[in-house]
Structures are given as structure tokens and as C-alpha cells.
């Protein structure tokens, strides 16, 4: 049985003084005019499921203008228990709670992961590689504590190393010590990325075929450390990393930054063997992102044994009828979904009948 989110309440949070909603086990549609706060609500659910939000807000950005403290509560039931997650923002700090006990952002993860799909993601294929890396890492962080730990440790090592590379003269002895930290943490992160990406690839191929049956999807990881794939061992990755780092030494000193490692890698998509970043039409790019999101939901379910929540923020207006059907067809059944929209016209009667429709300006159906 799935664990389901049941009630969401916010107090002095972003645009809201007070707002409470009971979430449907199946589909909740939040409808309202522009700027009424729909995305704010999606963000609040993301904060209490993933421990972070796509907007990467500071504590004070979450507090309603003119107020001192905000609070968000999200309750869950399932597997014979009830769990309450909360976030309190006050005096510039975010404090997370699980069943009343103080915890960290990581304490929000692992219960019900959430997969967000918003208009910003639609051009993920064409944007800078950092967006594709973030898509993979943000997902990995929710599934595995070790992955989360590696992402933050690796970022710290790169930051530290970059500040040494900016010194003049570069303190070589210190840099050597950080080289080893970079290689060890980076190789471990690469192993995690490759195995997660392979799981996504396998699911994404099927999801893409369901949307575009005549096109063949490819997905690959291109690393700045060298040619690696899911079968490359950790020791081999470390060796390649060491070699790439030593070849890059001069370039790094000249530019004052770390130029090889997972923070510079590329995740690339192809359709019928052609690089999607250069050749895919806008419709094909959207199908790729849709297939990626569906694959994330499947992989989360493969790993955790239950489906995540799907948060669809204003994407229906961006997709054509065929792609809208692909996504609503996918959520049939076991995936608890929250959808925001300004217009119910994007939904079939079948979906509206199944869903709980909540008008953000107060009225509920």
C-alpha cells in the first residue's frame, strides 16, 4: 500500500495567511487565476517531501511579507501509521520536524518522494548541462542518503579546491590533498549517477515509445574524466579521474577552477541516433522530458516499492492533447498527483470526475 499525503496546511507562508486542503488519494487539481499562489502550494509539498524546493528559497523568502514566522504542515497516512512533517521558518532559519521532533531537511526524505514537473523543465534538453545534472542529482538525493551525502560533499570539495586554485602561487601541497578527496568523492558520485541513469534509461525507453512509437530514444552519460559507463568499476573510474586531473593541471591553474569531474559532465539524449540537443523539435523535447518524469516515477517505485507523488505545476497548458493524455493515462491508479492549472478545459471529463478540484480562491468542489 502507498503512503499518501492527506492534509496540507500553511500559515503565513508566501502569499497565504492561512490555507488548508485535504488532498485526494488520487488526483487533486488546484485551480485559480495567475499569481493566486498555486505554485507556492506545490513548493510547500515539495519542501515537506524532498526537503528542498526547485526555487531553492531562503527562510525569509518563505515567510509572508510583513510576518515574522511561517509554518507548513503536511500529514501522511499509510502502512499502518500517520506521519506529520512540518517546516517552521523564523529568524532566517528553516526548522524541519517529523512527528514533532526536530530533524534536518534530509529527515523529510524517504517517506514519499515527490516528482515535480513544471514549465521550467520543458526546455531541460536544450539548456546548459547543469540542468540535466541537477535533474538526475535532485532525484537521486531523494532516493538514497548516500547519494545525497556525495552530492553535498563533492560540491564542498570542488569549492575548496577552486579557492586554492585561485590563490597565487597555488599551494601545491594542499592542492594534492584535495585532489585525492576530489577523485574519491567524485568517483563514488559517478558510480551512483551511472547506475541511477541506467535505471532511468531502461524505464524511459518504454515511456518514450508509448508517446512516440516510431522513434528510438538514446540516453548516455558523457564524463569529463573519460569514457565510462555502468560497467566501469569504481577503481577504474578513479584511475581515469586521476589521469584526467593530471592532464588538466595546467588549464586548471590558468583558469582557477576545477575543470574535470562530475560537475562538468553531460547527460545527453538522442532520437534515432541524432543528438536531441541539436536536432529535436520542440514537441520531441517535450516528449523526452515527459518520458523522463514518467521514468523517474517508475524508478522510484522500483527502488522504494511504492510510487512517489507527482506534482504537475501548470504543465498541462504547455502540452498538446496527445502528451496531456500520456500523462493523465500514466497517473491512472496508484500515483497520488497534485496538478495546478488556470483552466479545467485542459482535462478530460474522465480526469475531472476522478479528481478533487480545489479552487484556490476559497470555493471547493
Ligand X SMILES: Nc1ncnc2c1ncn2[C@@H]1O[C@H](COP(=O)(O)OP(=O)(O)OP(=O)(O)O)[C@@H](O)[C@H]1O
The three-state secondary structure class of 227 is: coil
Element of type H or E holding 354:
helix 349-354
Q: Is residue 231 involved in binding ligand X (CB under 6 A)?
A: no
118-137 binders of ligand X (CB under 6 A): none
**In this complex, which beta carbon is closest to ligand X, that of residue 315 or of residue 326?**
315
**In this complex, which beta carbon is closest to ligand X, that of residue 296 or of residue 314?**
314
The three-state secondary structure class of 343 is: coil
C-alpha torsion angle, residues 134, 120, 97, 336 (rounded to 10): -110
Residue 37 CB, shortest distance to ligand X, in Å, is 4
Residue 55 CB, shortest distance to ligand X, in Å, is 9
Q: Is residue 184 involved in binding ligand X (CB under 6 A)?
A: no
Element of type H or E holding 219:
strand 217-222
By CB atoms closer than 10 A (0-12, 13-18, 19+), residue 77 is: middle
Among 7, 15, 69, 301, binds ligand X (CB under 6 A): 15
Q: Is residue 44 involved in binding ligand X (CB under 6 A)?
A: no
The C-alpha cell at 233 is 568499476
Binding mask 331-360 for ligand X (x = CB under 6 A): -----------x------------------
Q: Is residue 34 involved in binding ligand X (CB under 6 A)?
A: yes
User: Do 47 and 59 form a contact (C-beta atoms < 8 A)?
Assistant: no
Tell me the window of 34-42, 96-104, 121-129, 171-179 that interacts with ligand X (CB under 6 A).
34-42
Nearest CA-CA partner of 235 in 179, 177, 188: 188
| Residues comprising the chain, all counted | 365
Q: Is residue 32 involved in binding ligand X (CB under 6 A)?
A: yes
**In this complex, which beta carbon is closest to ligand X, that of residue 12 or of residue 223?**
12
Among 6, 38, 85, 132, binds ligand X (CB under 6 A): 38
The C-alpha cell at 305 is 516499492
Q: Rounded to an integer, what distance in angstroms lies between the CA atom of residue 39 and that of residue 328?
A: 19
Residues that bind ligand X (CB under 6 A): 14-15, 32, 34-40, 61, 63-65, 314, 342
Which residues make up each annotated binding site for ATP?
32-39
Amino acid at each position: 500500500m502507498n503512503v499518501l499525503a492527506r492534509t496540507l496546511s500553511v500559515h503565513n507562508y508566501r502569499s497565504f495567511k492561512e490555507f488548508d486542503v485535504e488532498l485526494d488519494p488520487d488526483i487533486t487539481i488546484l485551480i485559480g487565476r495567475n499569481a493566486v499562489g498555486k505554485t507556492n502550494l506545490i513548493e510547500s509539498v515539495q519542501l515537506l517531501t524532498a526537503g528542498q524546493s526547485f526555487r531553492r528559497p531562503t527562510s525569509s523568502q518563505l515567510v509572508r511579507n510583513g510576518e515574522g514566522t511561517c509554518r507548513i504542515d503536511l500529514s501522511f497516512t499509510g502502512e499502518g501509521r500517520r506521519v506529520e512533517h512540518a517546516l517552521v521558518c523564523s529568524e532566517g532559519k528553516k526548522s524541519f520536524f517529523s512527528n514533532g521532533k526536530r530533524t534536518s531537511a534530509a529527515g523529510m526524505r524517504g517517506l514519499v518522494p515527490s516528482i515535480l514537473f513544471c514549465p521550467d523543465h520543458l526546455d531541460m534538453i536544450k539548456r546548459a548541462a547543469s540542468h540535466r545534472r541537477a535533474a538526475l542529482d535532485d532525484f537521486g538525493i531523494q532516493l538514497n542518503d548516500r547519494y545525497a551525502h556525495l552530492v553535498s560533499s563533492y560540491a564542498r570539495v570542488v569549492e575548496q579546491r577552486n579557492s586554492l586554485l585561485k590563490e597565487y602561487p597555488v599551494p601545491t601541497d594542499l592542492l594534492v590533498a584535495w585532489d585525492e578527496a576530489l577523485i574519491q568523492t567524485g568517483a563514488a558520485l559517478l558510480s551512483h549517477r551511472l547506475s541511477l541513469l541506467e535505471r532511468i534509461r531502461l524505464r524511459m525507453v518504454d515511456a518514450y515509445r508509448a508517446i512516440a512509437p516510431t522513434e528510438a530514444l538514446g540516453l548516455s552519460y558523457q564524463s569529463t574524466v573519460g569514457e565510462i559507463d555502468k560497467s566501469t568499476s569504481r577503481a577504474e573510474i578513479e584511475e581515469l579521474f586521476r589521469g584526467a586531473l593530471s592532464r588538466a593541471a595546467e588549464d586548471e591553474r590558468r583558469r582557477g577552477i576545477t575543470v574535470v569531474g562530475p560537475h562538468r559532465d553531460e547527460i545527453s539524449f538522442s532520437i534515432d541516433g541524432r543528438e536531441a540537443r541539436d536536432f529535436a523539435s520542440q514537441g520531441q523535447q517535450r516528449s523526452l522530458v515527459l518520458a523522463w518524469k514518467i521514468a523517474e516515477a517508475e524508478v522510484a517505485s522500483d527502488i522504494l516499492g511504492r510510487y512517489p507523488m507527482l506534482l504537475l505545476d501548470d504543465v498541462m497548458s504547455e502540452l498538446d492533447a496527445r502528451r496531456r493524455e500520456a500523462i493523465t493515462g500514466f497517473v491512472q491508479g496508484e500515483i497520488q498527483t497534485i496538478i495546478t492549472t488556470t483552466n479545467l478545459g485542459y482535462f478530460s471529463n474522465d480526469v475531472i470526475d476522478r479528481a478533487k478540484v480545489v479552487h484556490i480562491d476559497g470555493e471547493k468542489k
